[in-house]
A and B are shown apart, each in its own frame.
Chain A
Amino acid sequence: MNALKVYLWTISYLKPYRSYVALMVLCGILMTSSELIIPKLIEYFIDTILPAKDYSKFYILLLIIGGILLLLFGSRMLSNMLQRIIREKAARDLQFSVFQHLRKLGFSYYERHPVGETLSFLNTEVAAIQEIYRYWLPFLIQDILFVIVAFTILFSIHVKLTLILIPCFLLYYLIGPYYEKKSSKFGKVVTENRIQMNKQIYESISALPELRAYAREGWDLERFLAKLMVFIKNQRKLILYQFIRNAIRRLCNYCGAIVVFLYSAVLIQQQELTLGAFVAFVLLYFITMTKLTVVVANTIEQRLLMFQGEVIYKFMQQKPDVEEAVHPINLQQIQGAITITNVSFQYPEGPQVMNGFDVHIHAGERIALVGTSGNGKSTLLKLISRFYDPDQGEIRLDGVLLQNLSFKQLHGTIGYVFQETYLFGTSVRENIRFGNTDATDEQIIQAAKAAYAHDFITQLAEGYDTLVGERGVRLSGGQRQRISIARLFLKDPKIILLDEATSALDNVSEREVQKALDQLLKNRTTITVAHRLSTIKDVDRILVIDQGKIVESGSYTQLMEARCIFYQLSEGETMLPTEAEGIDAAS
């Protein structure tokens, strides 16, 4: 990837603050001029004031130096302030757009990328880019200005003496590039290692209960330490190469200093250079060479940061699998009729899951999808929710192509109950309110009552204000499901999709959740993916799916009487997906 392209993209976040940047550059010019004028004043002091012992000029000189220091102080203060403003605002914009893009990429992205990877670049890579706004870019601008002005002054002191420095500086470029390349290589490796390590950290922490249950703590520790060790080893190599490179650069500077001393001695003896000019030259030489090397180091550091920037850049360039129409349709009212015509679908790098699927679901109809694992039942729900678009065929809602509907209306129309409900680590009340963020406390209680959740909630230590813990771990599976159903009562969608909603529950919890579901599903189009046939006896129509196609359909009684596939499935319940199979992503 072109590093310059990534860099330009990175600094494009500064565009809205270009007036601040311009002001900061101006401050940089003032600071540079103030710093560089001082050696020239020292030259004047040594060559003019000191031999004549002219005290009046000396006091004027002190006053000038005082004034320059004040200017330096003021411009530095302003520059620091501007740096902070630019850094905070640009970093905020970057984080915001990364987060926004993450949401835009949607479901398919989350299915393909582990959470640890996303967390890693939100934590580490974005922070690395912030460093460019905070430190590297402002200083690069200041230092480049400094070097340009300093070289002008050095040439004004003695042209030949300045020219003699160029080979010394170029000497670095004979040896330096080797170490530059090594640093760059390890910079990239370390970035990749860091992502892998952070992924492992997230995985290890998320899996702590499972590790405990299987007594696999030692195995996990070994895996984590192995990744950490790889990261550390490569980081050490990176540091070593970086400092070898810096040491070589310094050595080249010192070689230049020796040349300056030797040649200056000749020039002074030949009276071609005054003592004051020599002192000013030496002072300027050391500052300029340091700044020059800092410019080079700064550029390299930014190049290394670009490996981290590249991760974000690539992420930001990813196109969402599903995009909203430019002029989306917003229907006056949704009835909930779904028509699926000749739909085929295949996951990226996966098998063909749907294969010419056709069905029409009437508004308010209750449908159940049955079949063995991996036959496309959950995929159909994802396609109806537009988590993915079909490769072929079309899906219509109330006669309108899903692709033409606005995301807001589509997602507002559909309510999803997954096998595992995600609860936020906050109170029960806030978790229910998630269904409708404008809901009042009274509406929340009504929703909880409708979902048969009110009784158990009031028995909790702090009732509706009880904290549920990370992902709701302090509640049982059935309680979590009823909270998710209460959410849906608040959301009030026209279509409900149930993806093995009760499959992870014991019989008692299942009965409770089923009661809540019966309340919820009244007068709503419902599509249920179920593994327990007992839960789908009352649906209007059962679709038996095999190899991404409907192979049988009818009511429970009709299918049992037909004694075909559904009958065989019901006779041997083991043929139906188990809990573990039920969460198969490809199903």
Chain B
Amino acid sequence: MQHLKWISSLMKEHRWSYLICLLVLLIEGISSLAIVGLQKWIIDDVFMDGNFDMLMPIIMMFAGVFLCYSLFFILSPYLYFKNGTYLHYKFSRLLMSYLHKIPIKHLQNERTAKFVHYFTNDAVNAAKMIGTDLPIIYQQSIMVIVLMGVIGFINLPMLLFVCLRQLMLSLASSFLESLEQCQERFRIRSQT
């Protein structure tokens, strides 16, 4: 919780940019879903039912959605990347200012490589996680909810099946992950 508070205080200056980024991601996600929806419409209503007079209006809509999606496909990564780099800049600045202040004794107790790692890896990864990964998780989550709604509306048992399958996959992957961690711990222990 403390971390979140700290991060949100850092993002305060950029909150509008962050919010706009979330909005743009939402539009990008919706337009990507709309492409799938329009495909279903073309196949079911035009080709299967033989309503070929509907083809041109749907194609026009299709073109519009494609255009919109392509536009937002450029805008959204640019925005979330901008937020990420803004945070990278801020983290690096804070880190360096902090290093300029900490007691020399503390500096001497640590290795230079450790501090270098903070800048070249930790600051970059943390900024990427908050600036880029979190907005994408938000976009994907909303898309999952919408898709679940659509599937549930069309066929409830199918939704249950999809959820069950996903649950099994998650359980299996977390089991395999814990196995992998055990193996890694064993490997480290056997080396030392």
Q: Which residues of A contact B (CB under 8 A)?
A: 119, 123-124, 198, 201-202, 204-206, 208-209, 211-212, 217, 220-221, 224-225, 228-229, 232, 235-236, 239-240, 243-244, 246-248, 250-251, 254, 257-258, 261-262, 264-265, 268-269, 275, 278-279, 282, 425, 469-470, 473-474
With contacts A123-B120, A239-B78 taken as known, whether A246 is within 8 angstroms of B88 at the C-beta atoms is no
Chain B 111-142, CB-CB to A under 8 Å as 1, else 0, gives: 11101100111000000000000000000000
* Inter-chain contacts of B82 with A (CB < 8 A): 236
Residues of B in contact (CB 8 Å), total 45
> In the docked arrangement, what's the CA distance between A261 and B99, Å?
61
> In the docked arrangement, what's the CA distance between A258 and B116, Å?
52
**How would you classify the secondary structure of chain A's contact residues: helix, strand, loop or mixed?**
helix
Q: Chain A residue with minimal CB distance to B55? A: A265
* Residue in contact with A212 in the complex, picked from B35, B93, B104, B116, CB distance below 8 Å: B104
Task: Tell whether, in the assembled complex, residue A247 and residue B71 are in contact, meaning their CB atoms are under 8 Å apart.
Answer: yes
5 residue pairs of the A-B complex, CB under 8 angstroms, read A198-B120, A240-B78, A262-B55, A470-B111, A473-B108
With contacts A205-B116, A221-B97, A474-B108 taken as known, whether A236 is within 8 angstroms of B81 at the C-beta atoms is yes
Task: Tell whether, in the assembled complex, residue B47 and residue A250 are in contact, meaning their CB atoms are under 8 Å apart.
Answer: no
> In the docked arrangement, what's the CA distance between A469 and B43, Å?
71
- Is B175 part of the contact surface with A, judged by Cβ < 8 Å? no
* Inter-chain contacts of B39 with A (CB < 8 A): 282
* Inter-chain contacts of B78 with A (CB < 8 A): 236, 239-240, 243
* Inter-chain contacts of A124 with B (CB < 8 A): 120
> In the docked arrangement, what's the CA distance between A1 and B92, Å?
34
How many Å from the CB of A210 to the closest CB on chain B? 11
Give the total number of A-B pairs whose CB atoms are below 8 A apart: 118
* Inter-chain contacts of A248 with B (CB < 8 A): 70
- Of listed B89, B100, B111, residue having the most chain A CB within 10 A: B100
Stretch among B17-25, B60-68, B148-156 lining the A interface: B60-68
* Residue in contact with B120 in the complex, picked from A201, A257, A258, A474, CB distance below 8 Å: A201
> In the docked arrangement, what's the CA distance between A72 and B55, Å?
36
Task: Tell whether, in the assembled complex, residue B52 and residue A239 are in contact, meaning their CB atoms are under 8 Å apart.
Answer: no
> In the docked arrangement, what's the CA distance between A205 and B46, Å?
67
Task: Tell whether, in the assembled complex, residue B85 and residue A235 are in contact, meaning their CB atoms are under 8 Å apart.
Answer: yes
* Inter-chain contacts of A225 with B (CB < 8 A): 89, 92-93, 96
How many Å from the CB of B110 to the closest CB on chain A? 7
- Is B48 part of the contact surface with A, judged by Cβ < 8 Å? yes
Task: Tell whether, in the assembled complex, residue A275 and residue B47 are in contact, meaning their CB atoms are under 8 Å apart.
Answer: yes
Task: Tell whether, in the assembled complex, residue B66 and residue A251 are in contact, meaning their CB atoms are under 8 Å apart.
Answer: yes
With contacts A229-B89, A262-B59, A470-B111 taken as known, whether A209 is within 8 angstroms of B104 at the C-beta atoms is yes
Chain B 35-55, CB-CB to A under 8 Å as 1, else 0, gives: 100010011001110001001
* Inter-chain contacts of B66 with A (CB < 8 A): 250-251, 254, 257-258
With contacts A243-B77, A258-B63, A265-B55 taken as known, whether A232 is within 8 angstroms of B112 at the C-beta atoms is no
With contacts A261-B55, A469-B109 taken as known, whether A224 is within 8 angstroms of B92 at the C-beta atoms is yes
Q: Chain A residue with minimal CB distance to B80? A: A239
* Residue in contact with A221 in the complex, picked from B48, B93, B113, CB distance below 8 Å: B93
Task: Tell whether, in the assembled complex, residue B70 and residue A228 are in contact, meaning their CB atoms are under 8 Å apart.
Answer: no
How many Å from the CB of B116 to the closest CB on chain A? 6
- Is B74 part of the contact surface with A, judged by Cβ < 8 Å? yes
Task: Tell whether, in the assembled complex, residue B100 and residue A220 are in contact, meaning their CB atoms are under 8 Å apart.
Answer: yes
Task: Tell whether, in the assembled complex, residue B119 and residue A243 are in contact, meaning their CB atoms are under 8 Å apart.
Answer: no
Task: Tell whether, in the assembled complex, residue B112 and residue A228 are in contact, meaning their CB atoms are under 8 Å apart.
Answer: no
Task: Tell whether, in the assembled complex, residue A232 and residue B77 are in contact, meaning their CB atoms are under 8 Å apart.
Answer: no
* Inter-chain contacts of A257 with B (CB < 8 A): 62, 66
